[in-house]
Amino acid sequence: MPRDITYREAVREAMTQAMREDDSVFLMGEDVGVYGGAFGVSRGMIEEFGEERVVDTPLSEAGFVGLCIGTSLMGMRPIAEIQFSDFITHCMDQLVNQAAKLRYMFGGEAEVPLVLRTPGGAGTGAAAQHSQSLEDWFIHVPGLKVVMPSTPYDAKGLLLASLDDPNPVIFYEHKLLYNKKGDVPEEQYRIPVGEARISREGEDVTVVAAGLVHHHALEAADALSGEGVEAEVVDLRTLSPMDHETVRGSVEKTGKLVVVEEDVKTAGWGAEVISRIVESESFYALDRAPARVAGADTPIPYNKNLEAFIRPSPEKVIEAVRKLLDVKVGVYS
């Protein structure tokens, strides 16, 4: 019997189940208590767990994330919520210089099992300071893991896995995914951090995506199917560590690669996906230059049309694939 619940509910269910099982797990963030979090993710949790475990903080991102890091050194399992991922700048030092580094600089003699959940991404008309996709910053910091589930099923399984992980994990949710429904088993299950998934099989082109835009990739693939092009879609699910093996396997099959990412193009994670292919033996399997569909190199504008203009969309993915298939480059064509 499929049980359709929303992405929001899936995240909440993972937190709730983990907290029932382990008294050392707690949620801390701004307005996560009676308000239920800015996006309602923790609604109802304070009634079950009380204010000692669903903790409303003052506006102190550095302070409470630092506090969570301290509790993790002491063997607790904190979940910090940053209300909008843009505000992560306020706890950057805590993440980059503390959480990511303590284990290494202490010579492996400490663990920091912190989970930091935060909604990222654009599409809400909230303009430049409430819409960014800054996940690349953290991919660039060894010691942190970065997870970005695109479905309710993955959100639950990856959050439970992140909570088991002895390392700091930045867990990116997407505001436009919160209402998305999907089949999610009630019992606990884990999706390993660092494993991509082939969400649609195809022979003609590999489309690698993550998060919200993974759905753009799937939509595009369905449309392209009507034109006789069968795209294989890879949902990375975790951005760090990145599952290059799954991407390689797919590219070696299709010979063509398109990356779809919501972050800005320059130095975005798509560049890393492509570089890893290009510097490996899989390079020789390519019969076209890889392509990227990414956010434009601009802040996110307020006007809806402007916002849509600079963001990836299913149409832009379709266009990119068509273009890739049109162009005759390389010796294999």
Partner 1 sequence: MNHKELLEKMLLIRAFDEKVNELYAEGKVHGTAHFYVGQEAVAVGVISALREGDVITSTHRGHGHAIAFGLDIDRMAAELLGKASGYCHGKGGSMHIADVKAGMLGANGIVGGSMGIACGAGWAFRRRGEEKVAVCFFGDGAVQEGIFNEALNLAAIWDLPVVFVCENNQYAMSKSVKTAFDTDTLSGRASGYGMPGVTVDGMSLLEVHEVASEAAELARRGGGPTLIEAITYRYLGHSKSDANLYRTREEIQQWRKRDPIAHFASELEKRGELQKDEWRELEHAARERIEEAFEKASEQPEPEPESALEDVYA
CB of 118 to partner 1, least distance (A): 17
Question: Which residues, 6+ apart, have CB-to-CB distance to 315 below 8 Å?
Answer: 220
> Which residues sit at the interface with partner 1, rule CB under 8 A?
26, 52, 57-58, 60, 62-76, 78, 93-94, 97-98, 102-111, 142-143, 145, 166-167
Q: For partner 1, which is the closer residue by CB, 89 or 313?
A: 89
Are the CB atoms for 296 and 176 separated by under 8 Å?
no
- Closest contact distance (angstroms) between CB of 32 and partner 1 is 15
Closer CB to partner 1, 239 or 318, in the complex: 239
Residue indicated by tokens 């890393």: 272
Residues in the chain: 333
As measured in angstroms, the least distance from the Cβ of 145 to partner 1 is 8
| Burial class for 211, CB neighbours closer than 10 Å (0-12, 13-18, 19+) | buried
Determine whether 214 is an active site residue: no
State which amino acid sits at residue 254. T
Cβ proximity to partner 1: between 34 and 329 the closer is 34
For residue 261, what are the CA distances in angstroms to 42, 57, 77, 211, 213? 27, 32, 31, 8, 6
Tokens 């002491």 locate to 74
Please say whether the beta carbons of 256 and 324 come within 8 A.
yes
Q: Which helix (H) or strand (E) holds 305?
A: helix 304-310
Token pair in block for residue 313: 């969309």
Residue 65 Cβ vs partner 1, minimum distance, rounded to whole Å: 7
We find the least distance from the C-beta atom of residue 161 to partner 1, in angstroms, to be: 14
Q: Distance between CA atoms of 27 and 51, rounded to whole angstroms?
A: 10
HSE-CB for 327 with a 13 A CA cutoff: 13
Quick one: 94 or 151, whose CB is closer to partner 1?
A: 94
**Closer to partner 1 at the Cβ: 145 or 288?**
145
Contact (CB, 8 A) for 166 and 79: no
Least Å from the CB of residue 91 to partner 1: 9
Q: Which is nearer to partner 1, 21 or 186 (CB)?
A: 21
Q: What is the dihedral of CA 289, 294, 297, 300, to 10 degrees?
A: 170
Report the nearest approach of partner 1 to the CB of residue 19 (Å): 13
Give residue for tokens 């999907």. 182
- Could you tell me which of 183, 123, 201 has the C-alpha nearest to residue 2? 183
Amino acid identity at 90:
H
Here the tokens at position 232 are 């294989």
Q: Which is nearer to partner 1, 68 or 122 (CB)?
A: 68
Active site residue: 90, 130, 216, 244, which one? 130
Annotated active-site positions, please?
A: 130
